[in-house]
Chain A
Amino acid sequence: MSSRRSRQQSSSSRISDDQIIELVSKLRQLVPEIRHRRSDKVSASKVLQETCNYIRSLHREVDDLSERLSQLLVTIDADSPEANIIRSLINQ
């Protein structure tokens, strides 16, 4: 099982070495922390690290916003005129 997996990994990475470099550079442009650095200054390992950090921070933001939204939704009566205005603003 483990031997098969490692073989699979090595073969797939051998086939698409160039592709992986391309993908990593695409990824680099998506992460604000390393987007504007020169590409030769950023190792693949650094790109992976910063990508992980960035996704984590986005997840945290979504969590915080979820918490905030849930609190706001409780305070607003769904049938109030304010709620209607929001509905029309969002659904325009």
Chain B
Amino acid sequence: MASSMISNTTIPPPTSDRSHRIKRKKKAQSKAQQAQEQQQRLQSHAKWRSQAQQQIYSSKLHQALSRVNLSGGPRRGKAVREAADRVLATAAKGRTRWSRAILTNRLRLKFRKQKRNHNQQKAVGPARSKKARFGVLRLKGKTLPAVQRKVKVLGRLVPGCRKEPLPVILEEAIDYIPALEMQVRAMAALADLLFGSSSSTVAGSSDGSGLPPPI
């Protein structure tokens, strides 16, 4: 038992033969999986609208929020938002690009933050050159036809779709929108619940209706 655990943690040296086989295997799998994924996709659109899914999301969100560090002052809202997005992406079970992007983005941001803390002085240089490059891109953008420009904007709004072709952006947006709607419903319901209880602790039972007051 102990020895198997150790062998699991050590990374085997990648032999070219092995990685080749894995690649081929992946290709064969992907064809078979595509049809299945399409089926899951169709189910997932309906899934985001179900009451059960919202219930699961609410409870997972509440659990996650209890772990959020709320001492951050103005960054508190951001921390809550990140937690809410992470839980949403987890609920998507990694079947969609946008959910995988949310989960990997977080890792990347973490890494970048650490790096920036490490050498803050050096970070100034590359940041400036990046800005200049962005300006060039913007000029180019003006020459794009209106539709293509809108596709680009949409690709930036859906996580993980910045560089994807149009059909992928559309498919991801079709799944992402109901997921976002569910997130809004669940967060609003949770806020109402919390608001109800916090106002009752402050002012006792307010009107006895038990309903959260209108915002």
Please report A residues at the B interface, Cβ cutoff 8 Å: 8-9, 12-13, 16, 19-20, 23-24, 26-27, 30-31, 44-45, 48-49, 51-52, 54-56, 58-59, 61-63, 65-76, 78, 80, 82-83, 85-87, 89-91
| Residue from B77, B150, B154, B170 within 8 A of A63 (CB atoms) | B77
Residues of chain B with a CB closer than 8 A to A78's CB: 66
| Residue from A20, A45, A70, A72 within 8 A of B79 (CB atoms) | A70
| Residue from A13, A61, A66, A73 within 8 A of B166 (CB atoms) | A13
- B171-184 vs A: 1/0 string, CB under 8 Å? 10110111011011
Q: B27 interface residue, CB < 8 Å from A?
A: no
A76 engages B194 (CB within 8 Å): yes
Other contacts beyond A52-B157, A76-B194, A90-B190: 11, CB < 8 A? A9-B165, A55-B177, A61-B184, A62-B85, A66-B80, A66-B187, A67-B77, A71-B76, A73-B70, A86-B62, A89-B193
Whether A85 contacts B81 in the complex (CB less than 8 A), given A23-B167, A55-B173, comes out as: no
Secondary structure of the A contact surface, majority rule: helix
Secondary structure of the B contact surface, majority rule: helix
Residues of chain B with a CB closer than 8 A to A51's CB: 154, 173, 177
Q: B35 interface residue, CB < 8 Å from A?
A: no
Residues of chain A with a CB closer than 8 A to B150's CB: 45, 48-49, 52
B76 engages A74 (CB within 8 Å): yes
Q: Which residue in chain A gives the minimum CB-CB distance to B153?
A: A52
| Residue from A56, A59, A90 within 8 A of B193 (CB atoms) | A90
Residues of chain A with a CB closer than 8 A to B65's CB: 69, 73
Residues of chain B with a CB closer than 8 A to A48's CB: 147, 150-151, 153-154
Residues of chain A with a CB closer than 8 A to B108's CB: none
Question: Considering the chains assembled together, what is the distance between the CA atoms of A20 and B158 in angstroms?
Answer: 17
Q: B40 interface residue, CB < 8 Å from A?
A: no
Residues of chain A with a CB closer than 8 A to B183's CB: 58, 62
Residues of chain A with a CB closer than 8 A to B187's CB: 62, 65-66, 69
What's the nearest-Cβ distance from chain A to residue B136, in Å?
13
- B54-90 vs A: 1/0 string, CB under 8 Å? 0100110010011010100000111111001100000
Whether A27 contacts B170 in the complex (CB less than 8 A), given A56-B157, A66-B187, A90-B193, comes out as: yes
Whether A75 contacts B198 in the complex (CB less than 8 A), given A13-B166, A16-B167, A31-B177, comes out as: yes
Q: Which 4 A-B pairs have the closest CB atoms?
A: A67-B77, A66-B81, A70-B76, A82-B197
